[in-house]
Structure formats: C-alpha cells, structure tokens
C-alpha cells in the first residue's frame, strides 16, 4: 500500500440520506491505518454529525454470513475493520423512496452512513470479517424495529452467496416481505405553546401540509395544559421519545408586568424552562427551534445583525436573553429572533382597528421603529429553515418592507379600515410612559429601534413578504 491514499470523500446514493464515505487508508510493511470516524473533517464534507454513544463489532467467521434487513430506531455508521462484505440497504421510510434498494462493497477504506428508517444488511465475502458500527442511541433488547426479508424477489438484491447456502439466523429467515413490512414512522415534531399567536399559525401551517401528504401523525401540539413551561421539572419528565424536533413557540410576553409581579413567571418560562428544553434537546440530539425577540437589544444600534451582542433594557428582555444562552448550547438549534408579532389574538393591529371603529383617537408612540411580523410569516420562515435544512444558528425574521414607527403602523391600520389616519396623534415613548406612570402603571423600557438585518435569512432562499401586503390581507380576513 505504498501509493498515496484516495482522498476523504462523501457520496450520495439513490436512497435519500444514505451516504458512502471513501476513507484514506495509509499502509506500510506493518499494516494499515484509517480514521474510520473523524467528526470535523466528515461533517465539513456533508456527513451528519452522528453523535455516537455506542460502538459494536460483529465478528463473522464464515463466508456467506448474512444479517438483516433491520431498520433500528437510530442512525448507524458502519464499515469493516478486516475482511470484506457486501452491504445492502432498503428504504423503509414512508414516501416515494419506500422499498428503494442500494448495494455497495464494504472493505477497509469504505464506510456508510445509514439514516434512521433505512434497513441495513450485509453478507461476508471473506472469512473472519469484522463488521463494526457506531450508533447514536443505546442498544436495548426491547427496541422495536422494522425488518424485511433478505430474499424478497420484489427487492431483487443480488446476494453474492445464494441465501440457501448462506448462514442466517432463524429470526432473519422469518422477516416479512416488503409488501408486508411496517414503514418506519418519522420522528415527531412537537410545537410547544400551541395556543399562542405563533402556535396557532404553526398549527395551521403544519396541519395544511399534513392533510396534503398524510403526515398528521408526525406533528404534535402542546398547550399549557399538556406541558407546563412554568415548571422545569415538567419539561424534563415529559415523554420525549420518538421526537426529532421541538419548536418552542411559548413565552411569557407580558412585558410591563415582568417589571413587577410577573418577574418570577417571566424568568421561569423564558429562561429556566428554555434551559430545560435545551438540556433535553442536546441529550437526545433533537433540533430545537426557539423564538426570541428584539427586546434582547437596547436599540442603540440598528439594523440589528445576528452577531450583535445582546443588551436588554428590562426584565422581559433579560429573561429572553438568558434563554438564548441555553439554546445556543444545543448543537442543532435555530434561534429565531422576531419583532412586533401580530397574529390570532390580542395585538396592536387589532387594538388600532377596534379604536378606529369605536371613534377613539389614540396617541401612539412615534420614536420607536421596526417592522411588524405577522404570525403566519413567522411560521412560514420557521418551516423554511426546517424544510430546507438551513445551517443551524441564529436568524432574524420579520416581514419585509420599509421600517416604520408604531405611529406609522397605526395610521396604516386606520387608512386600510376606511378611517381618517389623522385621528392618530403622535407622542413620544417618554411622554407615553410618564402618562401611564401618573395612572400608577409601570411601563417597561423598550428598544428605540427594532428593525432587523434580514440578509442571513434571505441567503437561505427565504424572501419575507412586505409588511404592507401582509397587513392588507390580515385586515381583510374575517374576524
């Protein structure tokens, strides 16, 4: 083995997510050496970050030893340490790829990443073949998995050693044909905070797709009665088995109340519970989507970029910033900051429409600027990040269009609902706070500028809808 080894490379196959890896093998008179798993190099080439927790070795003395097809509920990264084998895989995930077959020779210098839901099998071609594999969940004798018959003619696997002469277990001989095999259910996505403005928008988005493709069982929605985010213990003790993604749409958002009586609740929901969710997601290798806010900034710099240091002005912003720190520790996370959310529930736009209809001429702050984010647009952006497997990290998400003040937005609502926009009076944030303070109410400090730089989000292929168009459609929707 004196020639220069082939370079490390990752190759796609006909089965989605099943990847073949060429491993450089270095050899001399002593033997050979290869890096079977090298996280940094391999993930840089597109191999998923496996996160192995267990390594198994199967030693096979006889040529023709055949094992499979098994689709265990975990990812697998496999190869042979000595000898040679014939590998075969069948996609048992629901969808157009169900039943698709891929085969490949296995020898030192070749590894294969097998995603959850793809059934794995191999047949030894040399005596004393040692087959080794890493998995990202602990093996259990109680683990349930789907299996399919090795010799099913509908699969047409060209086994080098005919199965009638191969060495098989009785259990593998009894596996069902592909026509009777149970598809491997997909990992579930859970939406926490399903009854809030964003939660309802996410429910509408996911349920519309589920009705079209039959994937309703892959989505679950948890309201406060299902999971109390005021209790970190409730988060940790919840049954998260079979869950692949958590979308945290819940938050304590009573900004002014957080400065007083709601302080403990704000920290419990926005920080402590989020840390518990992050702990669960990291331990179980889940994807965590967490929604944060422009209130983590002081508003002195704008537009806000994702890498701007947080500098919250009040309790609400501080509690959300603390939650962000926990989320950032999850390897697979999308931290989505948003601003001025409007959806199905009490919000500024609905308040302005009601005041216009009631003949009230409101005084509205004109020195706080930003962009409104309609809940359905926020849901669309979150779905985009997930569905397009965007790089993990922090993203700013709002509707597009010009930056406006709350005063500008109020005038837009009056105009769109057929009322005189000049009825809206301008005031400053300081004067508004002083007026409420005279009435005995506490007003939390708010960032003067909330507009986001949306370039990072746009780079993923997502184009935010202009806020003016979304506002028009929102106001035309029957209440």
Catalytic residues: 70, 133
Nearest-angstrom CA–CA distance, 385 and 381: 6
Query: 345: alpha, beta or left, given left = phi > 0 and alpha = psi -120 to 50?
Result: left
Burial class, 20, CB count within 10 angstroms (exposed 0-12 / middle 13-18 / buried 19+): middle
401 alpha carbon, distance to own chain's centre: 27
């Amino acid at each position: 083995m004196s020639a220069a080894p082939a370079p490390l490379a990752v190759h796609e196959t006909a089965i989605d997510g099943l990847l073949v890896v060429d491993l450089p093998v270095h050899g001399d008179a002593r033997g050979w050496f290869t890096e079977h798993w090298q996280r940094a190099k391999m993930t840089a080439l597109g191999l998923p970050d496996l996160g192995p927790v267990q390594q198994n070795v199967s030693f096979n003395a006889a040529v023709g030893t055949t094992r499979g097809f098994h689709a265990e509920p975990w990812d697998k990264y496999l190869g042979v340490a000595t000898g040679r084998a014939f590998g075969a895989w069948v996609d048992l995930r629901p969808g157009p790829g169900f039943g698709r077959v891929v085969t490949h020779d296995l020898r030192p210098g070749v590894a294969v990443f097998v995603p959850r839901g793809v059934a794995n099998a191999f047949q030894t071609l040399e005596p004393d073949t040692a087959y080794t594999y890493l998995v990202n969940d602990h093996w259990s004798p109680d683990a349930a998995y789907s299996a399919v018959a090795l010799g099913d003619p509908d699969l047409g696997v060209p086994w080098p050693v005919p199965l009638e002469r191969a060495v098989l277990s009785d259990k593998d001989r009894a596996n069902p044909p592909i026509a009777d095999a149970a598809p491997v259910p997909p990992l579930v996505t859970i939406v926490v905070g399903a009854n809030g403005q964003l939660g309802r928008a996410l429910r509408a988005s996911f349920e519309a797709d589920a009705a079209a493709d039959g994937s309703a069982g892959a989505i679950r929605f948890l309201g406060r009665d299902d999971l109390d985010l005021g209790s970190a213990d409730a988060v940790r003790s919840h049954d998260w088995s079979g869950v692949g993604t958590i979308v945290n749409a819940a938050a304590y958002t009573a900004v002014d109340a957080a400065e007083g009586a709601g302080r403990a609740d704000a920290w419990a929901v926005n920080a402590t519970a989020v840390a518990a969710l992050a702990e669960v997601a990291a331990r179980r290798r889940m994807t965590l989507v967490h929604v944060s806010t422009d209130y983590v900034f002081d508003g002195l710099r704008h537009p806000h970029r994702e890498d701007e240091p947080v500098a919250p002005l009040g309790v609400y912003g501080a509690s959300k910033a603390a939650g962000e720190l926990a989320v950032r520790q999850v390897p697979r996370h999308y931290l989505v900051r948003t601003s001025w959310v409007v959806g199905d529930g009490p919000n500024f736009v609905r308040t302005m429409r009601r005041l216009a209809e009631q003949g009230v001429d409101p005084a509205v702050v004109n020195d706080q600027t930003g962009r409104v984010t309609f809940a359905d647009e926020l849901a669309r952006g979150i779905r985009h990040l997930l569905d397009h497997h965007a790089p993990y990290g922090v993203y700013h998400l709002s509707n597009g269009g010009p930056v406006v003040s709350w005063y500008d937005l109020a005038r837009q609502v009056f105009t769109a609902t057929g009322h005189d926009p000049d009825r809206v009076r301008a005031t400053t944030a300081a004067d508004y706070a002083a007026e409420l303070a005279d009435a005995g109410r506490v007003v939390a400090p708010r960032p003067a500028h909330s507009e986001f730089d949306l370039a990072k989000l746009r780079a993923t292929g997502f184009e935010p809808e202009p806020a003016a168009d979304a506002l028009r459609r929102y106001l035309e929707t029957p209440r």
